[in-house]
Amino acid sequence: MDFDWVEWFGYLASLIVLVSLTMTSIIKLRVINLVGCLAFAGFAYLINSYPTMFMNLGIAGINVYYLWKFYSTNEQFKLIAASVNTEFFEHFISENQTGIETQTSIDDLRKANTAFYMLRDNSIAGVLVGNNNDKGELSILLDYVTPQYRDFKLANYYFVSHPNEIKQRGVNTLIAKAATVEHKEYLFNVGFELADSADCAEGIYQKQL
């Protein structure tokens, strides 16, 4: 049987579109979906299915529009001090418990001495929780962003472009432990560096604000 590369290209394009729908980040979804739609439009052209080609080009155009709108819109960010002993904090934790427990235990969170809500356009997009010592070193227990806001904007705003938002709250150093390879890449992307050599084996990272 001869290898039909056009047919397999169609399968690949379909797979890319399918994978895009598994993304929790809306940005990743639109970027991967854009690639998949362009590939599928190319496949449709090769098999002379012009209605399918135009439909996928239209979807690709919609993705481009929303990506442009997303990156060109000025958003408002605000850091609000939180308490781990409030009903609202308990509600947030319970609603996002599965994702949160990949970083830390709920019991450890309840013992933390520092917590912030990270707001984006007046919506709570994430929380930053840890223990701050008398040197201003915040050992992060939880840096959690809800799925719809996982596009690095929060981390880039608070950790990179506007670190004073956190520094004004008595924190001058952030300390985090990378639990996974993905978490390690995230920390590097927002400016964290390996701590001293004694801690490197344990995957400890820090960032001066």
pLDDT, position 53: 94
**DSSP letter for each residue of 138-171:** EEEEEEEE-GGG-SSHHHIIIIII-THHHHTTT-
* pLDDT above 60: residue 57: yes
* pTM of structure: 0.68
Question: For 6-35, how does the pLDDT look when each residue is reduced to its tens digit (9 = 90+)?
Answer: 889 989 999 999 999 988 777 888 999 999
The whole-number average pLDDT for the span 64-87 is 87
Residues 92, 118, 108, 159, Cα dihedral to 10°: 150
DSSP state for residue 101 in the 8-state scheme: T
pLDDT, position 180: 80
User: In this structure, are residues 121 and 198 in contact, taking their beta carbons and an 8 Å threshold?
Assistant: no
